[in-house]
Amino acid sequence: MAMSKAIRLCGHLRQWSSVPSQKVKFNPATLYSASVVVCPEGRPFTTSSSAQEKLATKSVQKHDWNRAVSEAEKIVGYPTSFLSLRWLLSDEIANVALHLRKLVGSNHPLLKTAKTLIYNDKNQQAWGLIVLLVSKAAGHLDTIPDMEQDKSAGVLHSQRALAETTEMIRTSHLVHQGMINLQSFDNAGNDLSGDSDMIFGNKIALLGGDYLLANACQQIATLKNKDLNVLISSAFRDLAESNFIGDRDEQNYPLPTKPTAQAKELTTDLNSLEDLGFGDLEDNTEPMKIDGIVGSPEKEWSLRHVLGGGSLLGKSCQGALLLGGHPESLQKQGYLFGKHLSLAWQACIDMQPFLLPKLPSGAQFSLVSAPVLFHLEQDHSLYEEIEKGRKSIDNIDYTKVHEEVLQGPGLEKTKILQRKHSLAAMKVLNELPATDARRALQNIILAMQEL
């Protein structure tokens, strides 16, 4: 019964599709300069001189995203997503699917979130998969009892539970962001009886996100590890704080901050990441230091996305190594890997709209994406168009912003930004033993270049 409801929901969401996305590729060979390592299939990837080794002993011939993820899933046993048969057959998820059907045609933002999750859009990061691959690549201590090991997959049962929890937390955050503000300052106190569909959608977004979050907390508690509990709790805090960085419109959509005169321009040195620490390099369970960050394009972009996702992925990788019994030094490397991989991934996603020569009619993109922030650093006049979005970002002429950004340095600077974080993630991987899991992680990073 629950499965039939979920299938019918998928059918409704398929009909509710927006403009089909266009895949535009750029040549990864143009990504790299300085010292170059050549992968077995001939694709170059830059590394620092201290880490010049082959990235993979056996890579997929073409770094196709779907293929890289599919190969990685085979290594850890089976797909990691908690949106599995076990969940689709539960009464709670069946009820959510039934209620979501009522929103079809209402244009509530929650529908877009649900459609993205069900169809596994490539913009949705494979959080659990990354956590399991890191777990397997690093291995675990021999002293861990056999009963706690999933020998077929080469990971611990607790690490798999953490991977599922990571996806639940991420999904709950996205579902909560599907809420809309029905009473702006100008509309405060007015009768909302005519917006019953939107009110209902907000209730589903709130309760659905809370349900996932409660299950995630319960699953973390069952692992009975105090240090892991503190670590993941701090990731909850970071996700909440991500919604209070910089300016916002009345629907809480982020707006870019006008660059300050003291803002430091993006350096082309691919190894210059020392100044991007927000206090998390010393103690990542404490709140991040944000003084002087807003108004500096690279730092502001990094902070937004570390808080909004990089912290969760990094701390989940760190937690997986903690469960595996590894020393604190390696756990910290796990955090850095997840953090830099998330930022490289986000930079890749931010570039996608600007790889199109013309923005499709009615399409929008994030105004705090890296290309926009870097362009505003050079062209302050475009900020006049951004100011029109103080009340609602719908008032902004996205076509104009798109055209201006394409003519500026924003896209090229974003490519440099993505290379920097990709190389930082690769540098951590090179410290791990050469295994299938490490190779799969390397292939995922390389496949990002062709998204």
The domain segmentation of the chain, as residue ranges, is: 62-182+193-449
Looking at residue 128, its amino acid is: G
**Res. 75: pLDDT tops 60:** yes
pTM for this predicted structure? 0.80
- Let me know: does 425 contact 344? Beta carbons within 8 Å: yes
- Which pLDDT value is given to residue 404? 95
**Res. 328: pLDDT tops 70:** yes
For residue 194 the two structure tokens come to 């005519």
Q: Is residue 42 very low, low, confident or very high in pLDDT (cuts 50, 70, 90)?
A: very low
C-alpha torsion 79→120→84→168, nearest 10 = 90
Reported as a single tens digit per residue, the pLDDT across 170-216 is 989 988 988 888 766 566 556 566 567 788 888 888 988 898 899 89
DSSP 412-425: HHHHHHHHHHHHHH
d(CA 307, CA 295): 17
How many residues can be counted in the chain?
451
d(CA 134, CA 421): 17
Domain 62-182+193-449 has CATH 1.10.600.10: yes
- Which pLDDT value is given to residue 4? 46
Reported as a single tens digit per residue, the pLDDT across 76-90 is 876 655 555 455 556
**Res. 69: pLDDT tops 60:** yes
Reported as a single tens digit per residue, the pLDDT across 112-157 is 777 776 665 544 558 889 999 999 999 998 889 889 988 888 899 9
Looking at residue 383, its amino acid is: Y
For residue 37 the two structure tokens come to 């390592």
The per-residue pLDDT of the chain, averaged, comes to 78
- Which pLDDT value is given to residue 113? 76
Beta bridge mates, 156: 149
- Judged by DSSP in three states, 48 sits in coil
**Res. 419: pLDDT tops 80:** yes
Higher pLDDT, 24 or 325: 325
CA of 419: how far to CAs of 296, 297, 414, 437, in Å?
19, 17, 9, 22
Burial class, 44, CB count within 10 angstroms (exposed 0-12 / middle 13-18 / buried 19+): middle
